[in-house]
Chain A
Amino acid sequence: MSDDTDDVTAGNGAPAGVPMTRFDDPHLQPYAKNPRRAEMFIGLLLLLGLAGFCAYGGLYWVGGQTQWEAVFGGVGFFAFGFGLSAWGKYLLPQGPFVEERHILASTEPEVEAMAAAIEDRGKMVFRRRGFLGTILGAGAGVMGVVLAFPLIRSLGPQPKKLLDTTNWRPGSQLVDINGRPIHQADLEVGGSLTVFPQGFEGTSVNQTMLVRPGPVDVSIVTMPGRETWGPKGYVAYSKLCTHAGCPVGLYEEALQKLLCPCHQSLFDVLTGANPVFGPAPRPLPQLPLMIDSGGFIRAQAGYDQPVGPGFWERS
């Protein structure tokens, strides 16, 4: 190293003494065959970008309009960026330039030395202090577990019976989403309605699909043992799909099927909402109905099983 020289060749990992390059080195020539034309093209693109930004700004100033904002901003950014990229590609040195790779791996003794340092010093730490190590480990483990308490356990209540129960009780009045009680004359044959127990309108777990597959003089018997559950042509099932819990919202009157629009499970209304197609593994629970003295529809009892998708504690 002499006088004021700096090692200007330190970059690129190149060996010392890379000569200075003249400006007319072919590696420094632009990629563009006709640089003048490229300059013009890039200039136009950048101008278009500038115009786009200005137009966007002006549009914003006068109140904005979604589609034109998109056009001005989009064209502005696109042209500006395209111009800049083209500048890089067509006007800057074309190279190709090269960079040497350095071997990342160390020598075998260096690797062993590091491993030995970890191992030996580690042994030194715990030498004849195994009990301290045990306490340390136990403490760290317990720390990890108790830290999970506030992080996870505090989030919500314990499941207990939350997943097993609904608000349907013996005698619950069926109401629609607006709380209007359902009378036996409300639905035409082939009609359907989402109902809730009175006081729980709009709740997820209680939503029930009331359908009327038959006329007034028919009791819908979906399964043996459910002879009284479907009076006056009405029948009601939980609206929560037993697959993934979506509302089974579509009643296909012609087929007497209920369809879940999420994953296309199909339940047969006349045979206890038995799943006949799709991924649902269980029938929809049926709500036993009765007609009170005023002709309004009520539940004989709540659901006899948990509604909705399966879970571990479900028997």
Chain B
Amino acid sequence: MTTTTSGAQVRGRGRGRRGKKGAKQDPIVAGVRWLDERLGVAKGGRTLLDKIFPDHWSFLLGEIALYSFVVLVATGVFLSLYFVPSASEIIYHGAYAPLRGSKVSAAFASTVNLSFGVRSGLVIRQMHHWAADVFVGAIAVHMCRIFFTGAFRKPRELNWMIGITLLILALTNGFIGYSLPDDLVSGTGLRIMFSIVLSIPVVGSYLAIFLFGGNFPGDGSIIPRLFIVHVLVVPLIILGLLAAHLGLLVRQKHTQFPGHGRTEKNVVGSPMYPTFIAKTTGFLFVTTGVLWALGGLAQINPIWQFGQYEPYKISYAVQPDWYMGWLDGALRIMPPWSFHAFGHTLPFVVFFPAVLFPGICFNLFYAWPYVEKKLTGDNAEHNLLDRPRDKPRRTAIGVASLAFFFTLFAASSTDVLANYFKISLNEVLWFFRFAVFIVPTIAGFFAYYLCREMSGVPGIGRRKRAVVITRTATGEYESVSSAPRPGDSGEELAPTPVPARIELNGELEPAEAVTSGVRRIPRR
């Protein structure tokens, strides 16, 4: 090892810190040593503390999903202490006066009770629901980030697929979750789900009837069954895949946008400890705070207003949670095709939009890294991200897909739109049957040409500086760039490895001589 002067200082100080046998030991050193002698953590642990996290805002999106999941687990545990997953009929005697004396299921009654009879119960229940909505949303937006910047490319195809699986699981568990309280909306959702399973050729009626324990609504076993899937099976799989998702992230390290000092072979940013830990723990609390405020201020799923589910009851504008909207829209605009032959029926009108179509979508998502590889012939490793404008074709495909799903989502409120705009339902439906193909096409082409335009402009995406035009006394015009604004000026330092040791010199305050305010140039 090359002995540098500073290296000598390290040793010099080290002696004092570490101490000789019998001398008083630094408790942190003692702790690390205890762990290290048993698990050998010092070297790898040091590398982990030094792990670099790029400082780009878009990297927060996945964290929102992660922390929503943390909130979901915490609030979910609370709810499971009070929720009774049973369809058995009871007479309600709880805190909510309008329901007293009516026949409801134990699931419904316990949900109302934990909302009104348990302190903070309503906040935590609604927080759970909001967190589920935010969870799926954050996953979707995070997925867009990965897609549009090309972060799914080699070597990260596997993590992309784990992410898609997490999306599917989040959707599934969200649906199951709001099906549990046995209110009018959830029962209607289950009724439609029964019909969807029923539509599967050959095995559909077996699966549906096994699952519900009879023809709909079954023998009451669907709620306890869904409950255990909701609180144990799916969360456990999510937890495992989440660990794998983050494990792969650590193993493969982060992607980063190109910039000063950043190459395919390094990662530039803040170290895990202490900078990133502080920021991300803070962000966990910020996410929790927002969900907490939503939980008490923004009412969601007021089941006491919907009432107990009865199979013969229905309400106007029954809509699922937002993330099921695209499937509901697909169900609504599908033409009424049903095939009959050889004594069998294929209810294509349900089977296609609710089974085949999402299956095709998710399989396309899974396959996308390889589809793109096939189209571009690019099999190289990529650790630097793309700017979406630099990849017009990918961006166009992404924008078209988003437009497609947004149109389907809008189609899930045909009745509300028809009512609101006073147009006939018929026209709204036919509009969406065409729009679902036309809107994505237009959006895709628009995105493509926009990208092409932008890629030709110099300095695009950079902060623009005002140009002041002045007239001299002689009538000549002169253009002068305005003074740089704060943040424009500072020179960016060359990135350096996280220092092994920091010389504190016994004083924690930095010397006054240090030029404070050496600022980084804003991220480009």
Query: What residues make up the interface of A, taking CB atoms closer than 8 Å to B?
Result: 1-14, 16-35, 49, 60, 63-64, 66-71, 73-89, 92-101, 104, 152-153, 155-159, 162-163, 177, 194, 196, 202-205, 207, 239, 243-247, 249-250, 260-266, 275, 277-282, 308-315
Q: Determine whether B293 belongs to the interface, using a CB cutoff of 8 Å to chain A.
A: yes
Q: Can you spell out 24 A-B residue pairs with CB atoms less than 8 angstroms apart?
A: A10-B46, A11-B47, A23-B507, A24-B510, A27-B499, A28-B502, A29-B516, A33-B516, A33-B519, A69-B120, A69-B296, A81-B287, A85-B286, A88-B270, A93-B270, A96-B520, A98-B52, A99-B266, A155-B221, A156-B219, A158-B209, A202-B311, A279-B334, A310-B338
Nearest opposing residue in chain A for B48, CB measure: A11
Residues of A within 8 A of B350 (CB): 243-244, 309-310
Task: Please judge, given known A-B contacts A85-B286, A262-B188, whether A20 and B9 are in contact too, CB under 8 Å.
Answer: yes
How many CB-defined contacts (below 8 Å) exist between A and B?
A: 425
- Please tell me if the beta carbons of A12 and B251 are within 8 angstroms of each other in the complex: no
- Please tell me if the beta carbons of A203 and B503 are within 8 angstroms of each other in the complex: no
Nearest opposing residue in chain B for A26, CB measure: B518
Bound: A33/B42 CA distance, A:
35
Binds A, one of B163-171, B372-380, B490-498: B490-498
Residues of A within 8 A of B359 (CB): none
Bound: A250/B208 CA distance, A:
27
Instruction: State how many angstroms separate the Cβ of B199 from the closest Cβ of chain A.
Output: 7
Instruction: State how many angstroms separate the Cβ of B327 from the closest Cβ of chain A.
Output: 11
Residues of B within 8 A of A152 (CB): 207, 210
Residues of A within 8 A of B279 (CB): 84-85, 88-89
Nearest opposing residue in chain B for A98, CB measure: B495
- Please tell me if the beta carbons of B345 and A75 are within 8 angstroms of each other in the complex: no
Instruction: Knowing that A1-B1, A261-B315, A279-B334 touch, tell me 18 more A-B residue pairs with CB under 8 angstroms.
Output: A11-B46, A19-B499, A63-B119, A70-B295, A74-B292, A77-B289, A77-B292, A81-B288, A85-B283, A93-B275, A96-B492, A155-B211, A156-B210, A203-B311, A309-B347, A310-B199, A312-B200, A314-B345
B201-251, CB < 8 A from A = 201-219, 221, 225, 251
B357-402, CB < 8 A from A = 383
Residues of B within 8 A of A104 (CB): 155, 251-252
- Please tell me if the beta carbons of A78 and B119 are within 8 angstroms of each other in the complex: no
Instruction: State how many angstroms separate the Cβ of B395 from the closest Cβ of chain A.
Output: 26
- Please tell me if the beta carbons of A11 and B49 are within 8 angstroms of each other in the complex: yes
Nearest opposing residue in chain B for A68, CB measure: B296
Bound: A310/B515 CA distance, A:
76
Q: Determine whether B131 belongs to the interface, using a CB cutoff of 8 Å to chain A.
A: no
Bound: A84/B274 CA distance, A:
11
- Please tell me if the beta carbons of A309 and B199 are within 8 angstroms of each other in the complex: yes
Residues of A within 8 A of B201 (CB): 312
Residues of A within 8 A of B513 (CB): 24
Residues of B within 8 A of A69 (CB): 120, 123, 296
Residue of A29, A77, A162 near B514 (CB, 8 A) is A29
- Please tell me if the beta carbons of A100 and B266 are within 8 angstroms of each other in the complex: yes
Bound: A199/B188 CA distance, A:
24
Residues of B within 8 A of A280 (CB): 336, 349
- Please tell me if the beta carbons of B215 and A205 are within 8 angstroms of each other in the complex: yes
Instruction: State how many angstroms separate the Cβ of A14 from the closest Cβ of chain B.
Output: 4
Bound: A75/B331 CA distance, A:
41
Per-position binary interface string of chain B over residues 167-191, scored 1 when its CB falls under 8 Å from any chain A CB and 0 otherwise: 0000000000000000000001001
B26-43, CB < 8 A from A = 42-43
Binds A, one of B11-19, B456-464, B473-481: B11-19
- Please tell me if the beta carbons of A312 and B344 are within 8 angstroms of each other in the complex: yes
- Please tell me if the beta carbons of A27 and B493 are within 8 angstroms of each other in the complex: yes
Q: Determine whether B500 belongs to the interface, using a CB cutoff of 8 Å to chain A.
A: yes
- Please tell me if the beta carbons of B425 and A101 are within 8 angstroms of each other in the complex: no
Q: Determine whether B343 belongs to the interface, using a CB cutoff of 8 Å to chain A.
A: yes
Residues of A within 8 A of B500 (CB): 8-9, 11, 18-21
Residues of A within 8 A of B200 (CB): 312
Q: Determine whether B276 belongs to the interface, using a CB cutoff of 8 Å to chain A.
A: yes
